[in-house]
Structure 1
Amino acid sequence: MATILESLLGSCANKLKDIITNEAILILGVEEELAELLRRVELIRCCIYDAEKRRTKELAVNNWLGQLRDVIYDVDEMLDMARCKGSKLLPDHPSSSSSKLAACKCLSISSCFCYIGSRRDVAVQIRILNKKIENISKDKIFLTLNSSTQPTGKGSTSKLIRSSNLVEPNLVGKEIIHSSRKLVDLILAHKESKSYKLAIVGTGGVGKTTLAQKIYNDQKVKRSFRQQAWVCVSQDYSEVTLLKEVLRNIGVHHEQGETIAELQRKVAETINGKSFLLVLDDVWHPNVWMDLLRPALHETTAGVLLLTTRDDQIAKRIGVEHTHQVDLMSVEVGWELLWKNMNIDKEKEVQNLRNTGIEIVRKCGRLPLAIKVIASALAGRDVTENEWKKFLEKYASSQSMFSDETEGVLYLSYDELPHRLKQCFLYCALYIEGTIILRREITMLWIAEGFVEEKQGQLLEDTAEEYYYELIHRNLLHPDSVIFDQAECRMHDLLRQLACYISREECFIGDVETLSGKNMSKLRRVNAISKKGKVVLPRMDKMEIKVRTFLVVNGPRRIDDTLFKKFLLLRVLVLNYSLVQSIPDYIGKLIHLRLLNLDYTSISCLPESIGSLKNLQVLSLRWCENLHSLPWATTQLCSLRRLVLVCTKINQVPKGIGKLKFLTDLRAFPVGDGSDNVDMQDGWQLEELSSVSQMRFLGLVRLERVTHCSTNTVLTDKKHLKELRLFWTERGEEPYTEEDVSNAQNVLEQLIPPRNLENLTISRFFGRRYPTWLGTSCLSSVIHLLLTDLRSCVELPPIGQLPNLKYLKIDGAYAVTKVGPEFVGCRNSDPVWNELVAFPKLEWLIIMDMPNWEEWSFFEEETAEDEGGEDGAAEIRKDDVRSAGYQLFPRLMVLDLFNCHKLRALPRRLGEDTASLKELRLIGTNNLKALEDFPLLSELLIIQKCESLERISNLPQVTELRVHGCPNLSHVEGVGSLQQLGLGEDMQEISSCWVSGLQEQHQRLHGDDLDIYTLSTSWTEGAVHLSGQSMMRHTKLRRPVNVEGAQNHYNLQVRNVVMGDFAVKFRVRSRIDGFNWALVAVYGAAQPELKAEFLADLVRICGSSERRVGTKVPSGYGANSFEGNI
């Protein structure tokens, strides 16, 4: 039952072992004192498990553990201080000698005096700590403790499969499936009502949210409402934050500092005259509807409110018309859920454990959440009667801590965690209930707090990601199902409550002004939430603040000016979105600081004192639009691991980025030619990256400024590099010279990536030929490949033989007119072509904005008779030459073709070989006349704005067809499995000649009516999520649009965002160097046309001389959605 302290002791012991041989410590000569400190820590560590078992029953033991925890934190902070003081004494090129004498000889006389003073300061601190630990070890409590260690199971899964199937929702219960169908029918029956309200009621963890999600994501529901919003309310909701979340869901931008009344008015204006579905998840107070949202939604023409709550009285006070009670799982279904979530294939494998298993299910209160969590814990043990009974015995002993059985069960799952994961799990409680947890953020927070253990030959970031995926594997974090690599997750409120309870003595979430100075002095981690406009710290008098993590993330707030002077022990400081305009010089005193996040703030400069932060690992400056340069001292941040410059205007940078040996993540690296004569330069040279060998993520921007690169090995030796993004900047109307084109080609040719690369983006490359390494074994590990705005290349690259490629997006290959054998990576003339597999692992293929693309084939034409034909039939036959051994797209599940206006036909082999194809979308393929012979397409076909299309036939397995904007479609046949047919309003007349035949066929084959529904004229498809980002389907308006009242002409770009919303972007001719598109606004209307009200907003935003170009992305969409455009 070891909790925070066990983890802290283990971490402290490891740090002491490592630091004793550190040069910065050797030069101080305190290694003997540190060795004694280590001995005492290890002695106490042996008894901590027994102390933790007794703490709930014996107050004296609990107090003793509290004293010990404070001392161990002091040790941790002393180690930072010692390393800092020792580092200041090291020469620029420290001696490799390990003796104090050798170290002192290399110092000057003045440095020797500093050495003596520093050694004395550190030695005194160590002696004080040794004495404190000695007193703790002499305490009578310690003398009664037994030396023992926590028993463990088979251990954890360190290498986990990172796919969407990692935690399969393999059994949500027949009850939920049945209930969802019933409630969907109920909602649809009342979709025309002015305001229909229904509630899902049940105890925590019973599956209310799961049921609501199934209803919310039901396709019939999505089609029935113009606007939908999902809001997690929670107990301590912020009215402003909740209204902003509604606006974010319906795609409306909000300003910082807007009042509740202003936000309510925006909601009302947006949904005026539209049908609306609102889901309020986890409602604890009726006022959230009655006082806050009902007034804002009274203008909706038809609206349905679906809420989930634990209290049926809440539902009654809100006035719901229907209440659905979610009951506990039956024992039988719970038992099935238990063994299936242990990755056991058949019940007979655990039949002998059935009785014990059912007892476990009962102890879990028959709650799905608890059963799944316990199943994950049992999966780490031997599948034997003895092990399962031990588990029950352990549950019985821990139950005394909790009044509720479920809490005891969930605690048991926590208790089974290795100590390295316990702190990571508890840290997630700092996130407000319902908040999305981003993998890239939480892992760096864990590293900054020192929770991640070093592994031989492995970067800390890789180890931290293993921790993240293991918590998901154990069902303690719940990943977002639409993000393929599980880059986003949430923590269930019951698990969060458990984490808050365990860490209650150290963590606080709320308004810090309400705390007493005494309580504040005990805290180590704080998420400051204030309903006021400023975060105010409590009066502390002479008490020391020991906070290590301080977060201000809940909207724009001013910060108490004394923050940087009072919080001297900070390791993590997150001030994103806060109203911080300057950083004081005093920040250099925060020697323990590991992570500084200033995203979305208005700072215009960073002080040179930042160079004193020798422990700083993360500096994030995303969307700091007023920041134009980095201080010279940036290169002194010797521990820096992540530097984020995304969406900044930073151009002036210090020479010497290569000094930062530990950099693993460098986003939006501004490239330039630099200079040999000054400390500051106009962008960094590519060669400066050569010495940074631990890079995992690298984004290079403004590559057009590189005139030469002296080596082609800048990237090849980076064995940890997983993601590479390469961006050039468009010139707009100014043409590229031959020298420009040649230079771009040569630079890209020299940027040879390492073989371990998994994610590659190339954007706005204006060369005419691809690098020779694209499609070769250099990319043998690549999983994601994005090629965007490649304006001059006349062919697609030969990437069909990349063995691990799963996701491919090609956007804006404007010069391509024909796609042939080169794309799949071989030609008929190749000796082994008929033995190859093209795109062997590709699952998603998105091709968009190729307006000149006419032909698509996989093999070279062999007979002249295949030429000709006006209906596309000849084009289909071109690649009809067969090879028994050749395979195409064996795993392709989704194929999207957008705005390929001249494409005449799809290759026949495409339909016949794609055995795994589930979804096919054709939007804007205006020249396509026939879509035939996709016998294996099994789920969804979407056809939109294909004006020449006349025939759809031989798609026998398709279950849903949506058609819009196809005025010549006169034949639809061979779709015997069709269950749902969606027709645009413009399709009513032309479809009359074939709909009746489909209805008769469905009645004959299935005995009931075909489900036919109408798509509104504005219907368009939403976004596809890929690797934590939105791969946006969009329509570009190429011609300049003159917006009356605006100061310039703008090229408008309309992009679909999540759930049919879209963002309007504009490109300014006098563009900011290095940036093309600036986000103007996000609107909640699922249509690509710019209506008058949208233009009015454009005038307001673009026409104002006081407004900065580039409104920030609303919280929740995240900068990531648009990051690829910088």
Structure 2
Amino acid sequence: MAASCSRAGGAAAASVPQGWPRTARAPPQQHREGLGSGCKLLACRRHRRRVGPSGVAANCSRRQWVADVCSAVSIRPRFEGLMAPYVQKLITDMAEEEVSMLLGVSSEITKLEDNMEGSRIKELNQRLDEIRRGAAEFNFLANIRSSRNRRTIADAEHSSSLKSMSEFDETAIVGEKIERDTKELAQVLLSDENHHDLKVVSIVGMGGMGKTTLAQKIFNEPTDQKHFKVKVWLSITQQFDEAELLRTAIEHAGGVLGGAQDKTLPTRNLTDAMSVGRFLLVLDDMWSDKAWSDVFCVPARKASQKQLGSRILITTRLEHLAPMMGEYFHQHHVRPLDIEDAWSLLKKQLPPDQVVGIDRLKNIETEILKKCEGLPLAIKVIGGLLSTRYPSERDWNVVLTCPTWSVAGLPEQLDSRIYLSYEDLSPQLKQCFMYCSLFPKGEEILEDVVVPMWISEGFIQPPDESSSHEHGLEEMATEYYRELIRRNLIEPAVKYSLTGYRCTMHDVVRTFAEYMARKESVVVVDDRQAATCGCRDGSKLVRHLSVGQTISAVEWVILQKQKSLRTLIIRSSIKFQPGDTLRSFSSLQVLFIHAPASAADFKSLRFLQLESLPCCTQLPDGLCFLPCLQVLVVKDAPAIKRIGPEFQAPSCLSAGHTAAALAPAFPKLRDLQLVGLCEWEEWEWNDDGCEQQQGSAKATIAMPCLERLEIQNCKLSYLPLGLASVNRQALRRLHLYDLTNLTSVENFPSVVKLDVFRSPKLKRISGLSSLHMIRIVSCPNLEVLEGVPSLDSLALQDQTMEALPGYLRAVNPRYLRLHCSKKLYKSLSSPGSSEWNKIRHIEKHDISYNEN
């Protein structure tokens, strides 16, 4: 999800044009008020004492104490997201000051009396007394962040934060060794030795050693680009779906996808696709030879007989894997980085303003790097942590001497360096980080998916109990997402390295996150887990459940046992029985499924994504009656050609015309995304009927809170009148991508940001009186841009453009960013040219072109 523009907080931020890739800021400052006026804090004096490391076990006990507090107020679920971060912050701050904070919620209970029964209040008091007594039992471990050095959004904005990234992760590429390894292995792939045999090249090393980075660099080598006509990169999960793996391989190889139920036809199609030319097949992170023997062995061998010199490149932790594949093989062991390369890699993780003069800290950093043991992942994570510190001997020494480097009780397979970085996160950011573990390996973490999930879960809270509309919870959540990227806890996917829109989580980091979230989160990835939903212990309170693409369908009756679920993510088939319903999940806040269900039963639902609907010809009618739904995503529904008025039908059309008739359709929907409805041609939406009946257009307009709308890849020629209603005050951002038949965008007076990409028939944009920023990409027939008096930033991109459009004379933005053809660029380089005269009235320009 593209972050909306916000006011600049420092010189670095102010120099970046709005709406284009920019450095991210640290997460917003966490306010100590936290619980607001509804709860009060009782303070008592306490002797200050040094507290030593108590290990993971003690931390788990502390987290359990926090969970008890959250559970005590779970009668009102919204308080959990509010209290948990605050209570955790109290824990980390107690050892720093001579104050011990105890929770008192008498005023909150008073406020809730109207909504609770007397017996429940008595029970709540008893539980809070137990929690209050439990608080005194803990010796709290001070966080390694000192109160003086803890960075907030205000001071973070004075330095660059997000490093710039190229086609793949350049921040992991350092030193001559990786260059030598790349050239050596590229030569092995290209060599004519055993030319007639299919050769396997295996990169072996422990987790976090940089195997994938080396493979990526080889994959992108110019010599390989010329030598191999067909190149396929696949990440292999431990529990993979054969059909999905085949489909992905065919797609990457440029082949034809078949519709057969068995794998005979897809296997043949993959063979044909790889037989077009000499191929390079990369199988990243293999844990066994099963993917090779069951899926790729036959098509690869057959295709290699037609295309001599084809190669297989694998990355693995297992030395014996390559010999098991039964082909001629070459094995390369990745070694730890030496101290100079490690130092270079660490410096790449720091903002540019911190790198200047950093060599004065090399002695301290040498000691820090020794603790990283030459592992690139560990160095990147610690580098991300150090990037939040002022580069001084004192601040870096705090990190060096932190006892968390060797925490007791951490399982052997987990990396204590990641625990060090985790402990440095704010309580809210810890929740967001652990939540990312619900996306299993092979699933990308999309910004516009996970950000609204965090918000719906209550992880993101506005300061001073302000409304989300006033203070922008989405912007705050987006800053958290960027902070996780900056700390290298999630990493941008290859194609989205510049924007970070799609991210992945390294296996080593994911394993750690799953462990830290194990008390309340379960990820089901195989049939054995599916039989119990990963919950062998019946006493386990599961709040977040993610069901991956298991081979067998999951029994719905097993899911229904998890009555405390707040997040349910389903990517697998579900076995329903007569009488099965969705009413068991009364606390559900986030639902992510691949097919539509009886969503109207989810009265508390805030986030809903419907994805991969090849046979769906219309959207469910009842979605508009969900009272709490805030985010709706419909993705990949190619059979839908029309969306009728029943989709956004106002409640006044329901039978009875009672008091419920006053409620609008989608009353709290903030974000609507309609993506991949490639045959969608008509959207019928007119609010006139109900407005006339009720006499109050504002009260009955559908989607009155809609702030963001994204439409991508469809055949709409116009946007409906109901969407462009003059009474629509909340809509701020409108994103239109690949609308090939769209002819105009008109009359959206509240929109401040507009994206129009790849709409070749677009001719007119007008009537956007509040528009602040617009980006126009590959819209060659646009003739009119008018009615935009507030326009501040205009970005125009068309590499085929040889003359500037005439509408540039009629607008007066402060900033123009232009990406055009080389011919036009040269013309604009002459200040007196006719093309330059079209934009000379604009204050600031940024003009570029591509050589190719």
TM-score relative to the length of structure 2: 0.73
Counterparts of residues 204-215 of structure 1 (less than 5 Å): 204-215=207-218
Secondary structure of residue in 1 paired with 2:233: strand
Residue of structure 2 aligned with 1:697, choices 709, 715, 732: 709
Residue of structure 2 aligned with 1:232, choices 221, 231, 235: 235
Q: Which has the larger radius of gyration?
A: 1
Give the conservation status (yes or no) of the 8 Å contact 1:585–1:607.
no
For residues 807 and 887 of structure 1, the distance between their equivalents in structure 2, rounded to whole angstroms, comes to: 17
Q: Establish whether residue 282 from structure 1 lines up as the match of residue 285 from structure 2.
A: yes
Counterparts of residues 549-948 of structure 1 (less than 5 Å): 549-554=544-549, 558-562=553-557, 565-576=560-571, 578=573, 586-599=581-594, 601=595, 603=596, 606=598, 608-610=600-602, 613-620=603-610, 623=613, 625-626=615-616, 628-632=618-622, 634-644=624-634, 647=637, 648=640, 650-651=643-644, 652-653=646-647, 654-655=649-650, 658=664, 660-668=666-674, 671-674=683-686, 692-693=704-705, 695-699=707-711, 713=726, 717-718=729-730, 720-721=732-733, 723-724=735-736, 748-752=745-749, 754=751, 756-761=752-757, 763=759, 769-772=763-766, 779-783=771-775, 785=777, 787=779, 795=783, 804-806=793-795, 808=797, 820=803, 822-823=805-806, 825-826=808-809, 840-843=816-819, 882-883=832-833, 886=836, 916-920=848-852
Using the TM superposition, name which of 410-419 and 339-348 deviates more.
339-348
Give the conservation status (yes or no) of the 8 Å contact 1:564–1:586.
no
Give the conservation status (yes or no) of the 8 Å contact 1:50–1:148.
no
Deviations 1:219-246 (A, max 9, x none): 3323322322112225454555544442
For residues 286 and 222 of structure 1, the distance between their equivalents in structure 2, rounded to whole angstroms, comes to: 27
Residue of structure 2 aligned with 1:154, choices 129, 150, 154: 150
For residues 406 and 66 of structure 1, the distance between their equivalents in structure 2, rounded to whole angstroms, comes to: 19
Q: Which residue does 2:72 correspond to in 1?
A: 75
Q: Establish whether residue 458 from structure 1 lines up as the match of residue 496 from structure 2.
A: no
Deviation at 1:473, TM superposition (A): 0.9
For residues 252 and 265 of structure 2, the distance between their equivalents in structure 1, rounded to whole angstroms, comes to: 17
Structure 1 residues 709 and 598, CA gap change in structure 2 (3 angstroms): closer
Q: Which residue does 1:467 correspond to in 2?
A: 480
Residue of structure 2 aligned with 1:351, choices 344, 354, 359: 359
Give the conservation status (yes or no) of the 8 Å contact 2:173–2:213.
no
Deviation at 1:51, TM superposition (A): 9.3
Give the aligned residue type for 1:642: L
For residues 575 and 64 of structure 1, the distance between their equivalents in structure 2, rounded to whole angstroms, comes to: 31
Q: Which residue does 2:96 correspond to in 1?
A: none
Deviation at 1:164, TM superposition (A): 5.0
Secondary structure of residue in 1 paired with 2:374: coil
For residues 792 and 707 of structure 2, the distance between their equivalents in structure 1, rounded to whole angstroms, comes to: 24
Give the conservation status (yes or no) of the 8 Å contact 1:558–1:579.
yes
Q: Which residue does 1:189 correspond to in 2?
A: 191
Q: Establish whether residue 339 from structure 1 lines up as the match of residue 334 from structure 2.
A: no
Q: Establish whether residue 177 from structure 1 lines up as the match of residue 190 from structure 2.
A: no
Q: Which residue does 2:440 correspond to in 1?
A: 432
Give the conservation status (yes or no) of the 8 Å contact 2:732–2:750.
no
Deviation at 1:184, TM superposition (A): 2.1
Corresponding residue pairs, total: 745
Deviation at 1:168, TM superposition (A): 6.0
Structure 1 residues 627 and 800, CA gap change in structure 2 (3 angstroms): closer
Deviation at 1:660, TM superposition (A): 3.9
Give the conservation status (yes or no) of the 8 Å contact 1:553–1:578.
no
Deviation at 1:494, TM superposition (A): 1.9
Deviation at 1:646, TM superposition (A): 6.3
Deviations 1:980-1009 (A, max 9, x none): xxxxxxxxxxxxxxxxxxxxxxxxxxxxxx
Give the aligned residue type for 1:464: A
Structure 1 residues 81 and 591, CA gap change in structure 2 (3 angstroms): farther
For residues 261 and 449 of structure 1, the distance between their equivalents in structure 2, rounded to whole angstroms, comes to: 44
For residues 189 and 147 of structure 1, the distance between their equivalents in structure 2, rounded to whole angstroms, comes to: 57
Q: Percent identity?
A: 22
Structure 1 residues 170 and 272, CA gap change in structure 2 (3 angstroms): closer
Using the TM superposition, name which of 170-179 and 643-652 deviates more.
643-652
For residues 828 and 347 of structure 2, the distance between their equivalents in structure 1, rounded to whole angstroms, comes to: 52
For residues 137 and 50 of structure 1, the distance between their equivalents in structure 2, rounded to whole angstroms, comes to: 22
Q: Which residue does 1:54 correspond to in 2?
A: 54
For residues 820 and 583 of structure 1, the distance between their equivalents in structure 2, rounded to whole angstroms, comes to: 65
Deviations 1:740-797 (A, max 9, x none): xxxx76xx4323463x30523484757xx523458xx865422454538x6xx7x586
Structure 1 residues 787 and 147, CA gap change in structure 2 (3 angstroms): same
Deviations 1:622-665 (A, max 9, x none): 63743535445633423433353763454222215855453221
Secondary structure of residue in 2 paired with 1:424: helix
For residues 633 and 788 of structure 2, the distance between their equivalents in structure 1, rounded to whole angstroms, comes to: 34
Residue of structure 2 aligned with 1:442, choices 424, 431, 450: 450
For residues 555 and 161 of structure 1, the distance between their equivalents in structure 2, rounded to whole angstroms, comes to: 39
Residue of structure 1 aligned with 2:524, choices 495, 504, 510: 510
For residues 286 and 512 of structure 2, the distance between their equivalents in structure 1, rounded to whole angstroms, comes to: 19
Deviations 1:100-157 (A, max 9, x none): 9xx99xxxxxxxxxx98x631xx43443343234224435x83463596774443255
Give the aligned residue type for 1:606: S
Secondary structure of residue in 1 paired with 2:616: coil
Give the conservation status (yes or no) of the 8 Å contact 1:687–1:709.
no
Give the conservation status (yes or no) of the 8 Å contact 1:162–1:486.
no
Give the conservation status (yes or no) of the 8 Å contact 2:556–2:580.
no
Higher relative contact order (CA 8 A, sep 6+): 2
Unaligned runs of 5+ in 1: 1-9, 21-34, 84-98, 105-114, 516-527, 529-534, 731-743, 812-817, 847-855, 859-875, 891-912, 921-1126
Q: Which residue does 1:305 correspond to in 2?
A: 312
Deviation at 1:479, TM superposition (A): 0.7
CA RMSD of aligned residues (A): 5.1
For residues 577 and 70 of structure 1, the distance between their equivalents in structure 2, rounded to whole angstroms, comes to: 30
For residues 562 and 173 of structure 1, the distance between their equivalents in structure 2, rounded to whole angstroms, comes to: 55
Counterparts of residues 40-51 of structure 1 (less than 5 Å): none
For residues 310 and 63 of structure 1, the distance between their equivalents in structure 2, rounded to whole angstroms, comes to: 31
Secondary structure of residue in 2 paired with 1:278: strand
Structure 1 residues 548 and 721, CA gap change in structure 2 (3 angstroms): same
Give the aligned residue type for 1:618: L
Structure 1 residues 147 and 173, CA gap change in structure 2 (3 angstroms): closer
Structure 1 residues 631 and 824, CA gap change in structure 2 (3 angstroms): closer
Deviation at 1:218, TM superposition (A): 2.2
Structure 1 residues 342 and 914, CA gap change in structure 2 (3 angstroms): closer
Give the conservation status (yes or no) of the 8 Å contact 1:235–1:284.
yes
Secondary structure of residue in 2 paired with 1:482: helix
Deviation at 1:559, TM superposition (A): 3.8
For residues 142 and 829 of structure 2, the distance between their equivalents in structure 1, rounded to whole angstroms, comes to: 71
Deviation at 1:469, TM superposition (A): 0.8
Give the conservation status (yes or no) of the 8 Å contact 2:799–2:849.
no
Deviation at 1:490, TM superposition (A): 1.0
Secondary structure of residue in 2 paired with 1:178: helix
Secondary structure of residue in 2 paired with 1:587: coil
Unaligned runs of 5+ in 2: 1-28, 81-106, 652-662, 676-681
Structure 1 residues 705 and 577, CA gap change in structure 2 (3 angstroms): farther
Give the aligned residue type for 1:751: F
Give the conservation status (yes or no) of the 8 Å contact 1:338–1:371.
yes
Deviation at 1:421, TM superposition (A): 1.1
Give the aligned residue type for 1:567: Q
Deviation at 1:575, TM superposition (A): 2.8
Residue of structure 2 aligned with 1:482, choices 472, 477, 495: 495
Structure 1 residues 377 and 237, CA gap change in structure 2 (3 angstroms): same
Give the aligned residue type for 1:667: Q
For residues 719 and 622 of structure 2, the distance between their equivalents in structure 1, rounded to whole angstroms, comes to: 22
Give the aligned residue type for 2:684: G
Q: Which residue does 2:656 correspond to in 1?
A: none
Deviation at 1:475, TM superposition (A): 1.4
Q: Establish whether residue 496 from structure 1 lines up as the match of residue 510 from structure 2.
A: yes
Secondary structure of residue in 2 paired with 1:228: strand
Structure 1 residues 678 and 638, CA gap change in structure 2 (3 angstroms): same
